[in-house]
Amino acid sequence: MPSLATDMAVTVVSTSPYVAMFSDAGFPNGPVIQLQPTDWVGSYGSPATFTVGALSGDGSPLTYQWQEFTAQWDDLVDGAPISGATTETLSIANAQAIDNGRQFRVSVSNDVGSAFSSTVTIIGSP
Q: What is the pLDDT of residues 66-123, one digit of tens each?
A: 999 999 999 999 999 999 999 999 999 999 999 999 999 999 999 999 999 999 999 9
- Taking the CB of residue 26, how many other CB atoms lie within 10 A of it? 19
Each residue of 58-84: b (16+ CB within 10 Å) or e?
eeeebebbbbbeeeeeeebeeeeebbb
Task: Write the pLDDT tens digit of every residue in 20-36.
Answer: 444 444 456 899 999 99
Residue 43: give the domain boundaries. Answer: 31-125
35, 89, 94 from 116: Cα distances, Å: 12, 14, 26
Residue 4 lies in a domain: no
Residue 57 lies in a domain: yes
Q: Which pTM value belongs to this model?
A: 0.78
pLDDT score, position 16: 43
Residue 1 lies in a domain: no
Instruction: Tell me if 74 sits within 8 A of 68, measured CB to CB.
Output: yes
Q: What is the CATH number for 44?
A: 2.60.40.10
Residue 21 lies in a domain: no
Residue 25 lies in a domain: no
**Domains contained in the chain, number:** 1
- Taking the CB of residue 126, how many other CB atoms lie within 10 A of it? 6
Residue 20 lies in a domain: no
Amino acid 45 reads G
Residue 49 lies in a domain: yes
